[in-house]
Chain A
Amino acid sequence: MSKAVLELQNLHKSFGALQATRDLSFCVNAGEIHALIGPNGAGKTTLIQQIYGALKPDTGTVLLNGRDITGLSVADRVQAGIGRSFQISNVLMDFTVLENAIIAEQARLRQSFRFLHPAFDDPDLQTGAHKILNRVGLDDRAAARASDLAHGERRMLELALALATRPDLLLLDEPMAGAGQQESQRMSQIINDLRGTVAILLIEHDMDAVFRLADRITVLVEGAVIANGTADQISHDAAVRAAYLGSE
């Protein structure tokens, strides 16, 4: 039996009269790729924010590896094992690709509060940083400034940085947004290769990618879960077809 890395229990979030998240519960198991789909406005991003810690739910619990993290800050949750790639590339634009990775690596090693040795010249940090970049094939662009990267390359860096903390749970918020055909395939390949090493909660609108990659899918409509199961089960679920796939 798979262990649940992420467990959401009865999450509820309202913004005034708008109920963005309604009595929401589901799990993400270790090593699986779990897709979260739903029409625009279904509350997917709001949910990710609550898992990530940028938003606090009104009621409900978020459990990571069995531990209640509902009250923890974003930084503490990342330390507890959550990684996130953002919908809009959120890298350190003023630094080079390698420097981005070095800063992530030293953060993982909890070394960031040191004042003596130059960080970017440290051979151990550099080795770790190159490893991070190699995971997504960005090592040849190590010397480029992040602001000079092409869109697809920046998405890769985004993913690399999310993986740099060696999370147990990876939140991928539309990783293929704005990516061309080639970039999407490359991203798909990388995500596929991650299966088994880290639990992934994937928000994506590209339905081909979703059905190819996902082990399980949760469908969100107007803040509530209307279906939850394997890709096969979901594609045959009548309620889902009506609410979402049908209208496409």
Chain B
Amino acid sequence: MGGLSSVIKLACDGMRDNRLLWALIAGFALFPIYTHFADLPFWNDVAMRIMLLGMAAMGLNLVLGYGGMVSFGHAAFVGIGAYCVAISQVYGISNGWLHLAFAIVACGVAGLVIGYLALRTSGIYFIMITLAFAQMLFFLFVSLEAYGGDDGMSIDRAEFGIIDLYAPLRLYFLIWACLAIVAMVLMFIVRSRFGVTLRAVKSNASRVEAMGLSPLRFKITGYVISAVICGIAGGLFASWQEYVSPDIMHWTRSGELMIIIILGGLGTLAGPLLGAIAFLLLEEFLPVLLGSLAPAYAENWMILFGPLLIMVVLFGRGGLSGMIGRWYAARNAAGKGADRR
């Protein structure tokens, strides 16, 4: 089968070109071994949360980093994915594959509608409109008392046929597998004719138009793909947390996804995952830091996070993946210099 082997070869080439991303993903696969021997099972939970946030951030990064669309509403798609799982269970459907299918369809449709309405505008309008639509969905779910309303509702983990998600580490590796698949898909998309054109639209939409292409069509397609990815992350998140509430789709969650992307590096494949790691580590350690400096104010660690964010925006160039790239390049240059001597 020439077709399949060439795809596999493309995948391997791609993985070689994106070593940081795949090293991280491999790291997540091996992580449970470490936590097992170090007897730190709690950290598996943190790792799952990082993977889920990373997945959603990767989805957003497609339109934000590569497509140049500052969408403030992507948490809504995470929420829709989560509620697909919850609402299905209310009606007695516990099959995880069906949940997945619902999430994909629902987010696809929502992405198409919101994308079409919002992407005819640009700049500040686009940001505000996506924000407003996300809030609209937030209020919708708050008012749906049948599905928990403001308080949310507890749910069971989905059933994926023979895979029992309540057994240890099954959910972990389900999430891991989805993350790897999403990363692979995005890796292909970004280098494909579509991805390259989407990046061109970000660079200069009128030039793309002058080539005979409709920038809007590319943006909407990218938007729908990113919405579906966020929906998948949301569906898995629901199973992980065993609880859904409208808070998942509050606009500040969208802000969090953006923070993660910029921490890790905009418009790179590894960035969102790196950023998710950094974000959750900050969340764990800033309170500790503040607690040791000023114990009375340990709870108010956000007061450090705000200015930190401003600093990253003003001074951070390319986020963490940018820093790693520069460190790597400097090390290579130094190495070559040493060899020549």
Hey, which bits of chain A sit against chain B, CB under 8 A? 73-76, 78-79, 83-84, 86, 90-95, 99, 102-104, 106-108, 111-120, 161-162, 164-165
B211, A120: Cβ atoms closer than 8 Å: no
A90, B192: Cβ atoms closer than 8 Å: no
Given the contacts A92-B200, A95-B200, A114 and B211 also touching, CB distance less than 8 Å: no
Chain A: minimal CB distance from B181 (Å): 14
Return the chain A residue nearest B6 by Cβ.
Answer: A117
Given the contacts A115-B194, A117-B192, A119-B192, A103 and B210 also touching, CB distance less than 8 Å: no
A90, B214: Cβ atoms closer than 8 Å: no
Return the chain B residue nearest A75 by Cβ.
Answer: B214
Q: What residues of chain A lie closer than 8 Å to B283, measured between beta carbons?
A: none
B203, A117: Cβ atoms closer than 8 Å: no
Q: What residues of chain A lie closer than 8 Å to B214, measured between beta carbons?
A: 73, 75
A136–B191 Cα distance when bound, in Å, is: 27
Task: Please report the total number of B residues contacting A with Cβ < 8 Å.
Answer: 28
Q: What residues of chain B lie closer than 8 Å to A115, measured between beta carbons?
A: 188-189, 192-195
B212, A107: Cβ atoms closer than 8 Å: yes
Given A95-B200, A111-B193, A112-B213, 5 other A-B contacts at CB below 8 A?
A103-B211, A113-B193, A116-B188, A117-B192, A118-B192
Hey, which bits of chain B sit against chain A, CB under 8 A? 7, 10, 14, 188-189, 191-197, 199-200, 202-204, 206-214, 218, 221
CB-contact partner of B203 in A93, A106, A107, under 8 A: A93
Chain A: minimal CB distance from B194 (Å): 5
Q: What residues of chain B lie closer than 8 Å to A106, measured between beta carbons?
A: 193, 196-197
CB-contact partner of B209 in A74, A108, A116, under 8 A: A74
Please, could you name 15 A-B residue pairs with CB atoms under 8 Å apart, sorted by A?
A74-B209, A74-B210, A79-B212, A86-B206, A86-B210, A93-B203, A102-B196, A103-B200, A103-B208, A107-B197, A107-B213, A112-B197, A113-B193, A114-B192, A161-B211
CB-contact partner of B204 in A75, A93, A99, A108, under 8 A: A93
Q: What residues of chain B lie closer than 8 Å to A76, measured between beta carbons?
A: 212
CB-contact partner of A90 in B196, B197, B204, under 8 A: B204
B207, A112: Cβ atoms closer than 8 Å: no
SS of B interface (majority) = helix
A107, B192: Cβ atoms closer than 8 Å: no
Given the contacts A106-B193, A111-B193, A113-B194, A161 and B188 also touching, CB distance less than 8 Å: no
Q: What residues of chain A lie closer than 8 Å to B211, measured between beta carbons?
A: 78, 103-104, 107-108, 161, 164-165
A118–B9 Cα distance when bound, in Å, is: 12
A55–B240 Cα distance when bound, in Å, is: 53
A178–B210 Cα distance when bound, in Å, is: 22
A56–B213 Cα distance when bound, in Å, is: 19
A93–B200 Cα distance when bound, in Å, is: 9
Q: What residues of chain A lie closer than 8 Å to B194, measured between beta carbons?
A: 112-115
A131–B75 Cα distance when bound, in Å, is: 46
A31–B260 Cα distance when bound, in Å, is: 55
CB-contact partner of A95 in B10, B14, B203, under 8 A: B203
Q: What residues of chain B lie closer than 8 Å to A86, measured between beta carbons?
A: 206, 210
A99–B200 Cα distance when bound, in Å, is: 10
Given the contacts A115-B188, A116-B7, A119-B193, A94 and B212 also touching, CB distance less than 8 Å: no
A227–B221 Cα distance when bound, in Å, is: 48
Q: What residues of chain B lie closer than 8 Å to A83, measured between beta carbons?
A: 210
Q: What residues of chain B lie closer than 8 Å to A107, measured between beta carbons?
A: 197, 208, 211-213
Q: What residues of chain B lie closer than 8 Å to A91, measured between beta carbons?
A: 204, 207
